[in-house]
Structure 1
Amino acid sequence: MILVHTPNPKEVSAYLELFRAALPERHFTSLEQAELADVRHLVAWGLPDGLLARLPRLESLFALGAGVDKLLSRPDLPPGLPVYRLLDGGMAAQMTEYIRYGVLGYQRNMDIYRRQQAAGQWRMLAPRLPADVSVGILGLGEIGAAAARALVHDGYRVSGWSRSPKHLHHVHSLHGESGLDKLLETSDVVACVLPSTPQTRGLLNGEKLSLMRPGAMLINAGRGDLLDQDALLALLGNGHIRCAQLDVFAEEPLPASHPLWRHPAVAVTPHIAAITLRQQAVEQIAAGLRRLAEGGEAEGRVERAQGY
């Protein structure tokens, strides 16, 4: 038996329909209808407290998302339970669009023009070509690598940073502490798609943000706890960082009183840079369930020590 759960009953019904069509030979059910003692696999997002303890035969947990930091921090998560995350689920294309939007806006000075509009100013700025703009991607997993390749295709000069060395065609790949510093120092736009892990939390603190090239842009579509928001506001205030496009925050929803909402150099979006697409997510998870049934291993298994 395979239990599918999200906090939204309509979403559960939609997922059940797709899973039953993808794997008609398997038994998919909802929390309300499940015999919990018979559940072998769990597909979920947003687990209710106490549920895991009521699943004595559970063999695997598939997360309906790429980020699993909240799931891994649960005290009731069995230590030996295999956890699988989405490697894409339709998110790579969306994230690429989100980053492309920010980079193109920076290249064409749209953030400056919006501020000029608010001030009633009519002033043309010198144009720049994509080749005049260097973009640094923090995180070169499936999603970050897809964005880096797309930006190379668009004609930008692209660098990428990851924990371990990566090799992407026409992408200047960096790693380690010195590699991070170099990327920050040499990029006109820094786009972060890193997950939240013990190693990345607080990574973009005041010291690191101060290394960014004067007049650069920051895009954060990874996790909110990577970024020191107060340090960012200070560097925006003194003009060191020109603008920011932020999709994730330390507290979500972003409190209505937070100054990021009203800062003229900040574009705020409500955690929509890359949303799980049901059909693509079902296809990946269904393939993983088939592999497990055949005695193999599913893609996307989480290394708990690394946090992803």
Structure 2
Amino acid sequence: MPNILFAARPERWTLYEPHLREALAEAGLAHAVLTTEADPSEVDYIVYAPNGPVTDFTPYTRLKAVLNLWAGVEDVVGNDTLKAPLARMVDYGLTEGMVEWVTGHTLRHHLGMDAHIHGQDGVWRAGIVPPLARDRTVAILGLGALGSGCAAALAGLGFHVTGWSRTPKQIEGVRTEHGPDGLQDILKSAEIVTLLLPDTPATENTLNADTLSLMPRGAVILNPGRGALIDDDALLAALDSGGIGHATLDTFRIEPLPADHPFWAHPKVTVTPHIASETRVESAARVIVENIRRGEAGQPFLHLVDRTLGY
């Protein structure tokens, strides 16, 4: 039976242990060794968080795979000591949570809900009618599991959904583009843009002064992806000029976002504390155990990271 090292913070062990043991039992791996301490030479799998205790993978000479607890792998993919396969977290609970956050904030801005939520001052603000969803173009940048799920959900609500990715993708009911020219084309018509790209050198500052200027005046940006996808200074300038109407931001270059950062006080920015979609322990445990089961059965691992692309 495999030896599984849980290499994350102690509070995560408390949350994950019962769900991992339950999933292991259901997978016929009840006798697997699941522990937070082990002789590195005897470890077959590492359940891993980048803020956990393992930074050097060299001693783990029997390692079959590293199973990341997080969707993002930017903090581990460049670790030169890691030679074993690396799987990122692609969890149906994570996807569903992200779909709900993106859908909620898209509808918030589509319907102009802030005017009524914040305008409780005795003024009857009638006569402002938003377009129907079919007449609103929304764009998703990044069409992996999270982006594809959000695009499909918004299309299901009737929005005119467009999507962009670095490589060609197809999603029913969604017009997709790829490559630099495709990005420009998507941004020119997008009234609400959601960023769900991975954090790689190729995606840093995807939204910058040039690309922000392509968007319709007053467009809205949602960023539950990664902070580095946006040039902060360029975004602030676009908000001040009115080119961008609002930015709802969930991820940042530095987290927690420093108290003196201009985003906190800007009237056209909503800050949420990296909560767009938390990993759900029960579903994530099943994803991890499925990869362990596959490894023990000699089957290909799911959700492997391409080291050359960084995701």
Fold-level similarity (TM above 0.5)? yes
Structure 1 residue aligned with 2:27? none
Residue among 137, 141, 146 paired with 2:140: 137
One-letter amino acid of the structure 1 residue matched with residue 36 of structure 2: S
Structure 1: how far apart are the matches of 2:60 and 2:92?
A: 26
Confirm whether residue 62 of structure 1 aligns to residue 67 of structure 2: yes
1:189 aligns with 2:192: yes
Within-5 A mapping of 1:78-97: 78=82, 80-97=83-100
Unmatched runs of 5 consecutive residues or more in structure 1:
none
2:206 corresponds to 1:203: yes
Aligned to 1:274: 277
The CA distance in 2 between the partners of 1:145 and 1:101, in whole Å, is 16
Following the alignment from structure 1 to structure 2, what is the Cα–Cα distance between the partners of residues 39 and 49? 12
Question: Do the aligned residues in 2 keep the contact of 1:111 with 1:265 (CA within 8 Å)?
Answer: no
Partner of 2:231: 228
Aligned counterparts of 2:181 and 2:61: Cα–Cα separation in 1: 47
Letter in 2 for 1:61: V
3-state SS in 1 of match to 2:202: coil
Aligned to 2:218: 215
1:36 maps to 2:44? no
Q: Which aligned pairs between 1:1-308 and structure 2 lie closer than 5 A?
A: 1-7=3-9, 9-23=10-24, 24-31=30-37, 34-45=38-49, 46-48=51-53, 50-75=55-80, 77-78=81-82, 80-113=83-116, 122-124=124-126, 125-308=128-311
> Cα gap change, 1:185/1:111 in structure 2, threshold over 3 Å: closer, same or farther?
farther
Describe the shift of the 1:122–1:260 C-alpha distance in structure 2 as closer, same or farther (beyond 3 A). farther
Gaps of 5+ in 2: 25-29
How far off is 1:106 after superposition?
1.2
Deviation at 1:172, TM superposition (A): 0.3
Give the paired residue count. Answer: 302
TM superposition shift of 1:274: 1.1
In the alignment, the residues of structure 2 paired with residue 133 and residue 220 of structure 1 have an alpha-carbon distance, to the nearest angstrom, of 19
Q: Would the aligned equivalents of 1:137 and 1:190 in 2 still touch at CA under 8 Å?
A: yes
Percent of pairs with identical residues: 39
Change (3 A) 1:161 1:50: closer
In the alignment, the residues of structure 2 paired with residue 96 and residue 273 of structure 1 have an alpha-carbon distance, to the nearest angstrom, of: 9
Supply the distance in 1 between the matched residues of 2:123 and 2:215 (Cα, whole angstroms).
Answer: 28
Aligned Cα RMSD in Å? 1.7
What is the DSSP-based 3-state SS (H/G/I as helix, E as strand, rest coil) of the residue aligned with 1:242? strand
CA contact (8 A) 2:138 2:161 kept: yes
TM-score by length of 2: 0.92
Q: Which amino acid is the alignment partner of residue 258 of structure 2?
A: P
The 2-side partners of 1:219 and 1:50 are apart by 33
Pair 48,63 (structure 1): closer, same or farther in 2 beyond 3 Å = same
Structure 2 distance, partners of 1:86, 1:277, is: 11
SS at match of 1:69: coil
> Shift in Å at residue 154 of structure 1?
0.6
